[in-house]
Chain A
């Protein structure tokens, strides 16, 4: 069964550094998403992406965040200058209904 794959599974970075989280959505899906789950909290919508542009973003998705589909298969989330509060699981999803990847655990120290 096709699946959404995310790399790396765990990323540790220092505050202020840039990170790029990578995702390969299911190949025939057209809609892509990033979600975040802070430890012990709800899964939260960050951004949706279609036809090479952002469709919708939440209040969390400020100027420090950006998304890109650099080629026909990858979908990335960049955090420009990480903060301690960015520590969370980041999930990529595609389709509708959504299929999620296993996430990248981001730890900002």
Chain B
């Protein structure tokens, strides 16, 4: 079983739609969960960062974590064509060292297209 699984899509939605992106993971040691957006030929851009189970909202984006089910989601409300990108989930299991916070395990990425 892969450590982090993410449906690669592609996902195509009309402008204004609510988008739901999901990842499942197998390792209960994962503690911090992130969503990154990656435009073509660019680096991953941090969108959301969360630790606890529950919801975290930032503008049109809501990150949801369910540690009991090992399942995380990103919701995008009122999606825009500029949201068209690959969305990556990432997570880590910090240990004793500070750099372990940055040792991320990524999902495959979901390709999202929002058409006008």
Which residues of A come within 8 Å of B, CB atoms? Answer: 4, 6, 30-31, 33, 35, 41-45, 48-50, 55-56, 91, 93, 95-103, 105
B50 closest partner in A (C-beta): A97
In the complex, the chain B residue whose C-beta lies closest to that of A33 is: B102
Per-position binary interface string of chain B over residues 73-116, scored 1 when its CB falls under 8 Å from any chain A CB and 0 otherwise = 00000000000000010100000011111111111110000000
> Could you tell me which B residues sit within 8 Å of A by CB distance?
32, 34, 36, 41-46, 49, 88, 90, 97-109
Q: By DSSP majority rule, is chain B's interface helix, strand, loop, or mixed?
A: mixed
Shortest beta-carbon distance from B113 to chain A in Å: 17
Q: Which residue of B lies closest to A31 (CB)?
A: B99
In the bound assembly, the distance between CA atoms of A41 and B46 in angstroms comes to: 19
Q: What residues of B have a CB within 8 angstroms of the CB of A91 in the complex?
A: 43-44
- Measured CA separation A45–B102 after assembly (Å): 9
Which residue of A6, A30, A42, A44 is within 8 Å of B109 (Cβ)? A42
Given known A-B contacts A45-B105, A97-B34, A55 and B97 have beta carbons under 8 A apart: yes
Contact A93 B102 (CB under 8 A): yes
Q: Which of A4, A50, A103, A105 lies in contact with B99, CB distance below 8 A?
A: A50
Contact of A45 among B88, B101, B103, B108 (CB under 8 A): B103
What A residues does B99 contact at CB under 8 A? 31, 33, 48-50, 55-56, 96
Kindly list chain A residues whose C-beta atoms are within 8 Å of the C-beta of B34: 97-98
Decide yes or no: A44 and B106 within 8 Å by CB, A56-B97, A56-B100 being known contacts. Answer: yes
Closest-CB distance, A75 to chain B (whole angstroms):
13
Name which residue of chain A comes closest to B94, CB basis. Answer: A96
B97: chain A residues within 8 A (beta carbon) = 50, 55-56
- Asked if A99 meets B46 with Cβ closer than 8 Å, knowing A31-B99, A56-B99, the reply is yes
- Smallest CB separation, A85 vs chain B (Å): 19
Please report the C-alpha to C-alpha distance between residue A102 and residue B103 in the assembled complex, in whole angstroms.
18
Look across to chain B and name the residue whose beta carbon is closest to the beta carbon of A9: B41
